[in-house]
Chains A and B, each alone.
Chain A
Amino acid sequence: MIGFIVRRLAQALVVMAAIALISFLMFRYVGDPVAVMAREDASVTERQELREKLGLDRPVVVQFVDFIGRVVQGDLGISYRNQRPVADLIKERLPATLELVMMATLLSLAIGIPLGVITAVNRTGWLPTLVQSVSLVGISVPTFVTGIMLILVFAVTLRWLPSFGRGDTVQIGWWTTGLLTISGLKALILPSLTLALYQMTLIMRLVRAEMIEVLSSDYVRFARARGLPARMIHYKLALKNALMPVITITGMQIGGLIAFAVVTETVFQWPGLGLLFIQAVSFADVPVMAAYLLLVGLLFVVLNALVDIAYLVLDPRLRTRAS
């Protein structure tokens, strides 16, 4: 077990280094920070001064080594856009994104799993057919379209829910939460639904496919023959075995959701990491972009490792093999 974790960590470090390098090379194509930052009628000298001040006149390799050196010491640098420490910016935005992603994940599991079981158990009839076709919409309509449509219905026409922002938040230490106020909870509904929709249909379809396979296996048939109640067979015996890939996908998708949150956060002006990243891109704010990509990379790596470890715990066969 320990050897396994050490190996995973070593792999993770290599992956992180690769992410840092690739993202750093990418920045050369998102634009020149000096062009965005300098005054409109700045002279050539003025721009050159700014370039030197930002250290952008140095060769890329030197800039990269310098960047890695500072990151290793825990210094993420200062944002070009608003001249505040990047670490502070990320700390401010992280709670918003995590609450959104957590809510979206809960929604997608709470709705996706039961729907998956129902459509697997009753494969004919109008309800499963309807659910199946609606889920196609969920998987194929782009996030920003769903978001705008929800805003038009629930904010503009019905005026039940806010169209933007996080509502009132409560400060707990450095964490700000919208979960403790009415307006914060109301503000969470539309964005988390928008973000969850794709994930929800994915989980539903996955559970359905797995369930269909499990339901045709011998032990389920044997359980039926023993006369166990259908409810127990479906939810206790079959579902447990169908959930293995769901855990993988949910774990991996949390990373995906944080990445998808860029679009949702832009549509709902949700003050999270995604919005921070989008603004950084349009301002060519390299320190913020670099930190965001590293953070998302780190999340993926950690989530992957956690999923692997969760496997070990859940599946006894893997445990014997690993040791």
Chain B
Amino acid sequence: MNRTIFLPVAFAAVLATGAASAETLRWANDGDVLTLDPYAHTESFTASFLHHIYEPLMRRDADLKFEPALATSWELVEPTRARFTLREGVTFQNGNPFTADDVVASVERLIHPDARARGNLSSVASAEKVDDLTVDLVLKEPSPLLLNDLSGVYIMDKEWMEEHDALLPGNTSTGAVTYASDHANGTGPFMLDSRTPDAKTVLKANPDWWDEPQHNIDTIEFTPIGSDATRVAALLSGEVDVITPAPLQDTQRLEAADGVEVLQNPSLRTIMLGLNHGDDELDAAPGTGVNPTKDVRVREALWRAIDMDAIVAKVMRGKARVAALMIAPPITGYVAEDDVKPAFDPQKAKDLLAEAGFGDGFTMGLDCPNDRYVNDEEICLAIASMWKAIGVDVKLTAQTKGNHFPKVDKGETDAYMIGWATLPAMDGYSPLRAMLATRDGDMGGNNPNGYSNPRMDELAVASGSEIDEEKRLAMISEAMRIARDDIAFIPLHQQPLSWAASDNVELIQFPDNYFRAWHYKVN
């Protein structure tokens, strides 16, 4: 009998000592880091994780403003030539010094046709070394967003890449794999200690970091836990200190638990509905020969029929921010006075439909992902029933993101859900170029349903190369205003970020959902 009693106590003791080791931050996220190669992915979570190991020329500070990192100053020598002075005395984690050669090699590796992330630096034509601590970037055309782009470009070590034959990025089709996929050597505050994909990745503090550490963390133990319930259980049982994200439906339970804190703030990601502006008839109603959503009154009716307060209260548990513009407040180009939406008014909506000649309603499709945004399918179910209330017969399709987005992209939808966070640039130019400009080559990549406004196209082209920041912001704000008045998209809300942590951890939750452990403390 003694034995059976003894065992559990021994287990508990082992766990307790594990939990007591301070200055280790145990963090669980819903997905693993895709790869350690900073140029081989386009996922913001992986970028956020790798920022602990690798650093850009300039990074974002606690208020998300640019601050010098590996470059100490920069200037435009010509409209298409930017000069960067590099920080002296920085070393990579393997001891190699950081110089202009590393910046040149990194830029060349990123803009190589095989690099998955090359679109992140599309404005740069080449990099030229001026001297050991000075680098020029040659631009294809004047680029007001160069700094925004560069804040997501992590610098790798040229000697290290040469040594391990990793100067070129991996290539899925030729079968070329690179050493950098599972090894890392940066200049950042933490360095890679060990990694088992899908199980555990351990980072140790970099004792030779050039910056004064604001954190007190020795070790970061990162574990992906995909199942929501298990992730919550791991926090409640004290096996991890932080979980990202904390499922909205578990908020109350987590708040009620001892020693657990929930952090919830609106994110940068605006959730919206795209509409069919171009087709002659709606995809869900073939043979009718008419596309009601071409009429702005119908679009207004659809917007007015959506009770956002109810969706925020019921579906989002009070944790989302209702939006009227396509960009969130922290994004450059946002103007608070413009962020006013047509009031929820089902009667007015019916009147508008009648005025447009659709008093008897019409049939349209609504397409949603069910695994991409917070409560995406539930939001669409709510909207479908609200539209039915004004006489629109909604055909709802909710499916996995791998099927949803290709369908949207082919323009086979009438109304569809899409979210936009403008990452990594955090600038209103991103939706203007991708979603509002008429689709043509590099423009309008996410404008599949034929929205087209000549003034919008002018603004997209002009703001793309306008160096005067004040003029540029005025253009973006104008574009956002036009999009609202045209009802190019129906903005719904900024979805919340939701994290939970044990209360001995001091965290800052950034609206871009980046984890920046060099600002965190474990007590």
Is A43 in contact with chain B by the CB < 8 A criterion? yes
> Measured between alpha carbons, how far is A206 from B233 in the docked complex, in Å?
36
* B 395-429 to A, binary, CB cutoff 8 A, 1 in contact else 0: 00000111101100100000000001101000000
> Measured between alpha carbons, how far is A302 from B418 in the docked complex, in Å?
46
Decide: B181 and A82 in contact? CB cutoff 8 A: yes
Interface members, chain B 216-270 (any A CB < 8 Å): 223-227, 229-231, 233-234, 236-239
Is A218 in contact with chain B by the CB < 8 A criterion? no
Decide: A36 and B177 in contact? CB cutoff 8 A: no
Is A315 in contact with chain B by the CB < 8 A criterion? no
Minimum CB–CB distance from B24 to chain A (whole Å) comes to 15
Is B445 in contact with chain A by the CB < 8 A criterion? yes
> Measured between alpha carbons, how far is A2 from B182 in the docked complex, in Å?
46
Decide: A164 and B239 in contact? CB cutoff 8 A: yes
A residues near B494, Cβ cutoff 8 Å: none
Decide: A31 and B403 in contact? CB cutoff 8 A: yes
Decide: B239 and A276 in contact? CB cutoff 8 A: no
> Measured between alpha carbons, how far is A222 from B15 in the docked complex, in Å?
58
* Cβ-closest chain B residue relative to A287: B172
Is B198 in contact with chain A by the CB < 8 A criterion? yes
Decide: B401 and A163 in contact? CB cutoff 8 A: no
A residues near B14, Cβ cutoff 8 Å: 182
Decide: A163 and B237 in contact? CB cutoff 8 A: yes
> Measured between alpha carbons, how far is A43 from B200 in the docked complex, in Å?
35
Decide: B198 and A271 in contact? CB cutoff 8 A: yes
* A 14-44 to B, binary, CB cutoff 8 A, 1 in contact else 0: 0000000000000001111111111111111
Decide: B197 and A271 in contact? CB cutoff 8 A: yes
Decide: A163 and B239 in contact? CB cutoff 8 A: yes
* A 113-155 to B, binary, CB cutoff 8 A, 1 in contact else 0: 0000000000000000000000000000000100010011001
* Cβ-closest chain A residue relative to B409: A35
> Measured between alpha carbons, how far is A92 from B200 in the docked complex, in Å?
13
Q: Select the stretch in A72-80, A232-240, A252-260 that faces chain B.
A: A72-80
Task: Indicate whether A83 sits within 8 Å of B35 (C-beta atoms), given known contacts A44-B441, A268-B230.
Answer: yes
Minimum CB–CB distance from A3 to chain B (whole Å) comes to 40
* Size class of the A contact interface (CB-based, 8 Å): 35 or more
Is A110 in contact with chain B by the CB < 8 A criterion? no
Decide: A92 and B197 in contact? CB cutoff 8 A: yes
Q: Select the stretch in B67-75, B113-121, B276-284, B514-522 that faces chain A.
A: B113-121
> Measured between alpha carbons, how far is A173 from B170 in the docked complex, in Å?
27
> Measured between alpha carbons, how far is A169 from B198 in the docked complex, in Å?
14
Decide: A266 and B226 in contact? CB cutoff 8 A: yes
> Measured between alpha carbons, how far is A30 from B399 in the docked complex, in Å?
10
Task: Indicate whether A41 sits within 8 Å of B433 (C-beta atoms), given known contacts A78-B177, A160-B11, A284-B402.
Answer: yes
Is A8 in contact with chain B by the CB < 8 A criterion? no
Decide: B198 and A275 in contact? CB cutoff 8 A: yes
Is B454 in contact with chain A by the CB < 8 A criterion? no
> Measured between alpha carbons, how far is A165 from B196 in the docked complex, in Å?
11
Minimum CB–CB distance from B145 to chain A (whole Å) comes to 12
Is B95 in contact with chain A by the CB < 8 A criterion? no
> Measured between alpha carbons, how far is A33 from B229 in the docked complex, in Å?
28
> Measured between alpha carbons, how far is A43 from B448 in the docked complex, in Å?
11
Decide: A82 and B402 in contact? CB cutoff 8 A: no
Number of interface residues of B (CB under 8 A): 70
A residues near B409, Cβ cutoff 8 Å: 35, 47
Q: Which of A53, A160, A166 has a CB less than 8 Å from the CB of B199?
A: A166
A residues near B236, Cβ cutoff 8 Å: 156
Minimum CB–CB distance from B75 to chain A (whole Å) comes to 28
A residues near B177, Cβ cutoff 8 Å: 78, 83-85
Is A267 in contact with chain B by the CB < 8 A criterion? yes
Minimum CB–CB distance from A80 to chain B (whole Å) comes to 6
Minimum CB–CB distance from B412 to chain A (whole Å) comes to 13
> Measured between alpha carbons, how far is A315 from B343 in the docked complex, in Å?
79
Is A269 in contact with chain B by the CB < 8 A criterion? yes
Is A161 in contact with chain B by the CB < 8 A criterion? yes
Is A282 in contact with chain B by the CB < 8 A criterion? yes
Q: Which of B181, B226, B434, B443 has a CB less than 8 Å from the CB of A269?
A: B226
A residues near B15, Cβ cutoff 8 Å: 159
Decide: A269 and B237 in contact? CB cutoff 8 A: no
B residues near A162, Cβ cutoff 8 Å: 239
Decide: B172 and A43 in contact? CB cutoff 8 A: no
Minimum CB–CB distance from B172 to chain A (whole Å) comes to 5
> Measured between alpha carbons, how far is A53 from B40 in the docked complex, in Å?
14
Minimum CB–CB distance from B444 to chain A (whole Å) comes to 8
> Measured between alpha carbons, how far is A151 from B223 in the docked complex, in Å?
17
* Cβ-closest chain A residue relative to B172: A78
Is B173 in contact with chain A by the CB < 8 A criterion? yes
B residues near A45, Cβ cutoff 8 Å: 441-442
> Measured between alpha carbons, how far is A71 from B294 in the docked complex, in Å?
50
Minimum CB–CB distance from B154 to chain A (whole Å) comes to 16
Decide: A32 and B223 in contact? CB cutoff 8 A: no
* Cβ-closest chain A residue relative to B33: A82
* B 157-183 to A, binary, CB cutoff 8 A, 1 in contact else 0: 000000000000011110101100110
Task: Indicate whether A152 sits within 8 Å of B225 (C-beta atoms), given known contacts A42-B119, A282-B400.
Answer: no
> Measured between alpha carbons, how far is A169 from B229 in the docked complex, in Å?
25
> Measured between alpha carbons, how far is A42 from B226 in the docked complex, in Å?
27
Is B37 in contact with chain A by the CB < 8 A criterion? yes
B residues near A43, Cβ cutoff 8 Å: 119, 434, 441-445
Contacts A50-B116, A163-B230 given; 10 further ones with Cβ under 8 A?
A: A33-B402, A39-B119, A80-B172, A81-B34, A152-B233, A166-B199, A186-B11, A269-B226, A275-B198, A278-B226
What is the interface of chain A, defined by CB distance below 8 A to chain B?
Answer: 29-47, 49-50, 53-55, 75, 77-85, 89, 92-93, 144, 148, 151-152, 155-156, 158-166, 169, 182, 186, 266-269, 271, 275-276, 278-279, 282-284
20 A-B pairs with C-beta separation under 8 A: A30-B402, A39-B119, A41-B431, A42-B119, A83-B181, A84-B177, A93-B198, A152-B233, A158-B8, A159-B11, A159-B15, A160-B8, A163-B233, A164-B233, A186-B11, A267-B230, A269-B198, A275-B198, A282-B400, A283-B402
